[in-house]
Amino acid sequence: VGRYLLQELLGHFHPKFNDQHWAPGVYGCAALICILWGYLVLQGNIGIIWPLFGVSNQLLGTMTLAVGTTAIMRLGRKRYAWVTGIPCILMAIVAIAADYENVFYSYIPAGKWILVAFSAAMFFMILIVLVE
């Protein structure tokens, strides 16, 4: 999943990454994800990324509600968009606030820079989804 997400993100900057059969993109992204995962394993505590799962689940819920709202609007049912739109906005606020709190009150003071990087990446990815 990490490779697909990384390829999709990089596809915004270099269109060849959108091609799932382009070998340099597939192997390069897979290698980068493996290296990052290996870094966490070699640190001796894979549980270091556990706090990211809470925020990532909230962001997944936000993304799902955003897609649902878009689908409702495209079907011409704009008057029902509030059913998923309002929870989407509330979920986004909660997820972004939790991510902010994790980064500035937990990760940076403890010097956990890899978690700062992952949190920032998740933050920018959800912004891309919400803007589109």
Q: How far apart are CA 87 and CA 74, in angstroms?
A: 18
Token pair recorded at residue 113: 């820079």
Section 101-116 average pLDDT: 90
Confidence of residue 10 (pLDDT cuts 50, 70, 90): very high
Indicate whether 11 pLDDT > 80: yes
pLDDT digit string, tens, across residues 40-92: 788 776 777 777 888 888 888 998 999 999 999 999 999 999 999 999 999 99
Task: Give the model's pLDDT for residue 85.
Answer: 94
Q: How far apart are CA 101 and CA 122, in angstroms?
A: 14
Task: Give the model's pLDDT for residue 68.
Answer: 94
For 3, what's the count of Cα atoms within 13 Å in the CB-facing half-sphere?
Answer: 16
Domain boundaries along the sequence of the chain: 1-44, 46-132
